[in-house]
Amino acid sequence: MPRFRAWFCRLLGLVRKQSRESEMNAEIQQHLDALTERNIAAGMSPKEARNAAARDFGGVEQIKEVAREQRVWKWADEFLQDLRFGARMLVRSPGFSILAILCLTLGIGTNAAALSWIEGILIRPYPLVAHQDRMFALNATIRGTEGYKGLSYPDLLDFQKNSTLFESFIVDKITGTTLSSGDRAERAVGGMVSANYFDALGVRPILGRGFRPEEGTGRNAHPVTVISYMTWKNRYKSDPDIIGKTQFMNGVQHTIIGVAPEKFHGTFIGYSFNFWVPTSMQETFDNTGYKLEDRGARWIEGYAFLKPGVTRQQGQAELSAIAKRLENDYPETDRGHEISLLPLWKTPFNAAGGISTTLGITAAVVFFVLLIACANVSNLLLARSLLRRHEMTMRLALGAGRRRLIKQLFTEGLLLSLIAALGGIAVAYWSRNALVLAFPPSVPGITIDYPGSMDWRVLLLSIAICIGSTMLFALMPAVQASHVDLSGALKSEGAGVIGGHGRSRLRSTLVLVQISLSFVLLAGTGLLLQSLQRMQNTSPGFLTNNVIVSVVDLFSAGYKLDRAKIFHTQLLDRVRALPGVESAALTRVMPFSYNPPSSAPIEIDRYQPAPDEQPNADYVQVSEDYFSTLGIPLVAGREFTRNDDEDSPRVAIINETMAAKYWQGKDPLGQRLKVKDTWMQIVGVAKNVYYETKLEAPRSFFYVPVRQNFFVGNTLLIRTRETPGAITNALSREVHALDPTLAPYAADRLQEQVDQRGYTQRLAATLLAIFGGMALFLAAIGLYGVMSYSVSQSTRELGVRMALGAGVRDVLRLVMSRGLRLTIAGVVVGAAAALLLTRLMGNLLYKVSPRDPIAFGAALIILIAVALLACFLPARRATRVDPVRALRI
């Protein structure tokens, strides 16, 4: 309490400085008067009495000064004084101030922008959703294995029923449908959500309502939907009477009961949802069957909200205990199944995981930019402190303490970074979504929404960065400046001699740091660009440019299996007859798609698995001509034909890895393979290709004929030299002829699909390129500043050399070699640091060693080129020194 009081009194003293001063004067005067009076009473003359009183009292002015220090909040007083003085100094040298503030604005602004973006994704990824601090992703795994497995609906209900520490559990399973408008169909992304979804998230529809509890139950009993704001606006032209109207989705008329608020995109990082339906409609939206009563069907993705005050550990303990009980009660379905709570940014079932490395790189890179900016400002301050040496010397000579001097210089620095921080935050605020614009476009038809949010965390961090960077850039010059050697400085004043050796060494060190940081960024960018290049150049093993992909979504249109089979057969015939089409095929899952291929345990004739081995392979259902359409060579056997249908023996084509693994050199043709109780004869061996990403390792994979394993939904692959636009038009006509209510998706080259899977890499490369360029620019300014400063400082030396006969060439060489030495030292340090740091990018690099010589070499060449330019300009100025004038100085 007394401490606070003292603080308050002093603060008051600060504000009421004027009245306090006069009060003190009056009090002391009164004291002196009383003493004088007493002396007169003792018999002195008035004059004697006054003198004696003053003698007894002591030096009035000194005492007042000491007293002032006691009563006023001295530190704040000095601070205000320094601030005023600092502001005056900034205004006096506007060039310096503007440059320094710009550098810092750039540094702090990029950090604030990147932070707001990172913070948005890490902590509050979902706009408008309340209590995201208590929201956790439910991570379902199997003991001893990796990867997300999904929750079953009955399990989820049990967790909900038996837990006490949770406010709510929500289901949010990504799904989709096709909404057609005219002769084009569009993919709409939606969520199958539990009935409590909107209530738990605290999201209130702007029109209509969210789901009612009873709408979550009953098999396909509640065809109701809440649509997104964008869907309402674009598809329904903001119809104010939309509630109660219907929307045909997956063959069922759904009643629109609500419109979500504009900013709400759902709870799936990377995707913006168009509609939501209750989980009771699962069977309608999932082409693999009814699962709501199947404890073994693991398909649910979801979140849990902890009650306020409950820690993640407590919640986790309770869930684990329930999971243990479920294991005991339902061993055949739940044995080994575990559940854990993950923070939202580690959500295992959306794009959160793929982006975390990129976030880390972004954070590191913007921090580097800030460091480089700080080094620049430090250099500027050092240069200016030399100009102010006279002032500093004067202050020291007049008795200012070094601490006081450092404090003053520090305050000036703080003023700079405060202005820059305000500018930076403003820039970050206006550009917080611009960072996203710089990103390469993602999956077409799906909006990406990475919210950049400025909240107290970002502001607090920005202020911390501001103060931290002041420490970085202002402290060293301030300490340096306060170490003026009084006698030396006074003596040399006016002689124009170069600044202290220590100072130029400090400046060189700063430039060295800048160059090495730039080198790290450049080398990192080089590595990412190169792996991007390699990834682009690596063939996936099939044709991508002349193959066009499209989908006719029969599942969403409500087709049943038989009708779909007829439709697809007829469509395939019509497409093959189109002019310019070389071949066409169907596949259930196209290569490199978001949907994974099927996966199943397998059994192989005459292959004895090891005791703990369960042979497993991925497979996909394809039609005849699949291999010729995609240009995948068969190393043995034949391709599927139209005759491989339900009436003929089951067949399969395996890949080389599978042949090598299970037949070990023997000919697999004619041998048998069992999947899901069906034996299939192997009729061909295909070359290995990449199936999902170019990052995957070779694995066992096989193909089965689509006609023996039909699904309603299939993707159409067309090999042609026509453009996607032309194919889309032709395809629309053919689809329309078969069923006037249907339309195909806009056709796209398979290449686009392949490119999308390298999205994270492209994102990281883009970010590094942007910030690497910024860093390089700042470092070049720094180098230029130091070189031109040292040239201006050694005018005399250069003059002497030229007077003694040194030519332009000699002077150039002298100056340039100094700059280059600095650059090379910086590159050496930077290369060492880069070797350590680039290893952390391991999983973003593709077929590129983290110490790739080309990336490092390119960084070296770029840096040297920039350094040469930065040194050349001051060096040329040096050659223009007039020896006579230089010597006269």
Partner 1 sequence: MAKEKPDLVYGTLDMLILKALQHEPRHGLAIADRIQQISQDVLRVEQGSLYPALYRLEAQGWLKAEWGVSDNNRKARYYRLTAAGRKQLAAEKEHWSRITAGINRVLAST
Which residues make up the interface to partner 1 (CB under 8 A)? 1-2, 5-6, 9-10, 13, 23-24, 26-28, 30-31, 33-35, 37, 56-60, 62-64, 66-67, 69-71
| Residue with smaller CB distance to partner 1, 6 or 561 | 6
Main-chain dihedrals φ then ψ at residue 486, nearest 5 degrees:
-50, -55
Query: How many other CB atoms are there within 10 angstroms of residue 666's CB atom?
Result: 10
Nearer to partner 1, 13 or 785 (CB): 13
Contact between 153 and 161 under an 8 Å Cβ cutoff? The reply is no
Q: What's the min distance (Å) between Cβ of 30 and partner 1?
A: 6
Place of tokens 């042609």: 720
Vertex 533, ends 529 and 536: CA angle to 5°? 135
- Residue with Cβ nearer partner 1 (23 or 493): 23
**Least spacing, CB of residue 64 vs partner 1, in Å:** 8
Q: CB atoms < 10 A from the CB of 880, how many?
A: 8
Residues 810 and 875 sit within 8 Å (Cβ to Cβ):
no
Q: Tell me, what DSSP letter sits at residue 218?
A: S
3-state secondary structure of 122: helix
Asked if 297 contacts 246 with a C-beta cutoff of 8 angstroms, the reply is no
> Tokens 């509640």 identify what position?
222
Please identify, using beta-carbon distances, which residue of 202 and 401 lies nearer to partner 1: 401
DSSP string for 667-728: --TT-EEEETTEEEEEEEEE----SS-TTPPP--EEEEEGGGS--S--EEEEEESS-HHHHH
Q: What is the largest CA-CA distance in the chain?
A: 139
Q: Which residues contact 78 (CB under 8 A, 6 or more apart)?
A: 404, 407
CB of 814 to partner 1, least distance (A): 53
Which CB, 30 or 311, lies closer to partner 1? 30
What angle is formed at CA 70 by the lines to CA 67 and CA 73, rounded to 5 degrees?
130
Alpha carbons 813 and 818: distance in angstroms, whole number: 8
Residues 6+ apart with CB under 8 A from 253: 223, 246, 247
Strands (E), 238-285: 246-249, 252-259, 275-278
> Of 30 and 693, which has the nearer Cβ to partner 1?
30
Closest CA to 497 of 389, 379, 406, 376: 389
CB of 833 to partner 1, least distance (A): 47
Q: Which amino acid is at 157?
A: L
Beta carbon nearer to partner 1, 27 or 455: 27
Residues sharing a CB contact under 8 Å with residue 529, sequence separation 6 or more, in sequence order: 765, 769, 855
Nearer to partner 1, 92 or 403 (CB): 403
C-alpha distances in Å from residue 249, one per residue of 206, 246, 318, 670: 22, 9, 39, 45
Pairing of strands 715-720, 581-587: antiparallel
Token pair 């002829």 in the structure block, residue: 737
Work out how close the CB of 480 gets to partner 1 at its nearest, in angstroms, rounded to a whole number.
28
Q: Measured from the CB atom, is 33 or 214 closer to partner 1? A: 33
84-90: long-range pairs with CB below 8 Å, 24+: 85/408, 85/412, 86/408, 86/411, 86/412, 86/415, 87/415, 89/412, 90/412, 90/415, 90/416
CB of 37 to partner 1, least distance (A): 7
Unique residue bearing structure tokens 């206006």: 430
Write out the two tokens for 850. Answer: 């983290």
Give the residue with the Cβ less far from partner 1, 11 or 566: 11
- Given the complex with partner 1, which of 401 and 502 has the nearer CB atom? 401
Query: Is residue 150 helix, strand or coil?
Result: coil
Interstrand relation of 275-278 and 184-193 (parallel, antiparallel or unpaired): parallel
* Nearest residue (CB) to partner 1, 27 versus 667: 27
Cβ proximity to partner 1, 67 vs 464, nearer residue = 67
Q: Which is nearer to partner 1, 28 or 498 (CB)?
A: 28
Quote the least distance from Cβ 57 to partner 1, whole Å: 4
Taking the least distance from each CB to partner 1, the nearer of 42 and 495 is 42
* Shortest reach from residue 83's CB to partner 1, in Å: 23
Q: What share of the chain is helix, strand, coil (3-state, %, to 5)?
A: 55, 15, 30
What is the spatial distance between Cα 11 and Cα 856, in angstroms, rounded to a whole number?
57
Provide the token pair at 780. 């070049």
- Of residues 52 and 471, the one with the C-beta less far from partner 1: 52
C-beta of 35 vs 115, nearer to partner 1: 35
DSSP 745: B
| CA–CA distance, 720 with 748 (Å, rounded to integer) | 12
Q: Which is nearer to partner 1, 10 or 762 (CB)?
A: 10
Distance CA 835, CA 860 (A): 14
- Cα dist from 530 to 364, 618, 850, whole Å: 20, 31, 11
The residue type of 73 is W
Name the amino acid, one letter, at 331: P
Q: Please name which of 468, 478, 486, 500 lies closest in space to residue 405, comparing C-alpha atoms.
A: 478
Task: Tell me the closest approach of the beta carbon of residue 46 to partner 1, in angstroms.
Answer: 16
Min dist. Cβ of residue 824 to partner 1 (A): 52
Q: If phi over 0 gives left and psi between -120 and 50 gives alpha, with beta otherwise, what is residue 664?
A: left
- Least gap, CB of 55 to partner 1 (angstroms): 10
